[in-house]
Amino acid sequence: MKKLNKWVWAGILAVASASQAWAAYPEKPVTMIIGYPPGQATDIVGRLVAEKLGQRLGQPFVVENKPGQGASLALAQLTKEKPDGYTMVLSATAAYVTNPHLYKSVGYDTLSDFKPIGTLIDFPLVMVARADAPFDDFEGFLKYAKEHPGKLNHTSSGNGTLSHLGMELLQRETGTELIHIPYKGSARAMTDIAAGNVDVGIETVTVTKPFIESGRLKLLGVTVSDRLKLYPNTPTLDELGVKGFNVAAWLGMVFPAGTPDECIKVINDALQAILKDPEVAAQLESVGALPRPSTTKEFAQLLKREYATWGEIVKQSGAKVD
């Protein structure tokens, strides 16, 4: 019995010692790699979250910008970092779930090279049409598109972008056929719809809002799962009959594979608390973002689900990026 008690106490002490060790994490600055240039919305969100994490956890979270290949260079870099909890990546939808299907090589496997921490925000998207379109709402668009296959066109911010693939998904789900006209950038794409040169498109609220408010674009519907506070009377496409349709540009954070679960829990707990802070929520909404705290498991499920969905859409569309 005495021998047994000795081993029991040894186990208890070992667990207590490990708990105390992780209670001190982080013990030095943490690097947050962001795959976008300084000043972009993703960078602004990342710097805000980095500042709040630093305040909450007592160590600086240092932002390192590494743009390139649609933000994939940042994730490729992360595969070369030590899995010790001191280097993470903050990136958007494309780098995780569409770029691996679009590029010949990105240098990582989203589902095996990383350990998810959690999601941060959504940049909500809406569907819009030119002001003089022969329909005023989504039902009208659907009716017209089905009666005139191949006559309507849609824009995007570029080949293989979420605005492109979102419309490809919509066509698949509704049995419609539109012509894709890609642009280099979302502002140019929306400007050409407003000018009447293109019929419809999907884009973030940040970009479409001034066009909608000035009457240069018609708002047809919301592509994310919930109605927006900005447009409470505009239904989601899911409500309008495209069941399960949810196209959102989200941001999420990951560590390299092999990072201890204890590190992930510390960061996720802090992240959820930060994103539920009304002051932080207001700051995020000022750049068109909506807080989207999640558990690590929920983010892992999101990555797996969207990796499969967008992989299928990319294959069907034939989209590729050199």
* Residue listed under structure tokens 């005023």: 136
Integer Cα distance of 36 and 63 in angstroms = 11
CA distances (Å), 143 to each of 111, 121, 203, 239, in order? 39, 34, 22, 16
**What CATH number does residue 150 fall under?**
3.40.190.10
Structural tokens at position 103? 């590029």
- The single residue listed with the structure tokens 């400007």 is 191
Q: Name which of 199, 163, 166 is nearest 184 in CA terms.
A: 163
Which of 180, 204, 222 finishes a domain? 222
For the chain, the domain total comes to 2
197 in the same domain as 276: no
Q: Is residue 241 part of a domain?
A: no
CB count within 10 Å of CB 246 equals 19
Query: The CATH number of the domain where 60 resides is what?
Result: 3.40.190.150
Largest CA distance in the chain: 87
Are 144 and 60 contained in the same domain?
A: no
Task: Tell me: do 205 and 110 sit in the same domain.
Answer: no
- Please indicate, yes or no, whether residues 215 and 118 belong to a single structural domain of this protein: no
d(CA 201, CA 138): 12
Query: Residue 289 has which token pair?
Result: 């973002």
**Residue 318 CA: distances (Å) to CA of 4, 312, 315:** 65, 10, 5
Q: What is the pLDDT of residues 81-130, one digit of tens each?
A: 999 999 999 999 999 999 999 999 999 999 999 999 999 999 999 999 99
Residues 100 and 170 in one domain: no
Q: Are residues 144 and 9 in the same domain?
A: no
pLDDT 10s digits, 156-211: 999 999 999 999 999 999 999 999 999 988 999 999 999 999 999 999 999 999 99
Closest by CA position to 315, among listed 67, 100, 129: 100
This prediction has a pTM of 0.88
Helix (H, G, I), strand (E, B) or coil at 118: strand
Instruction: Mark whether 119 and 151 lie in a shared domain.
Output: no
Domain residue limits at 34: 2-123+250-317
> CB count, 10 Å around CB of 315?
10
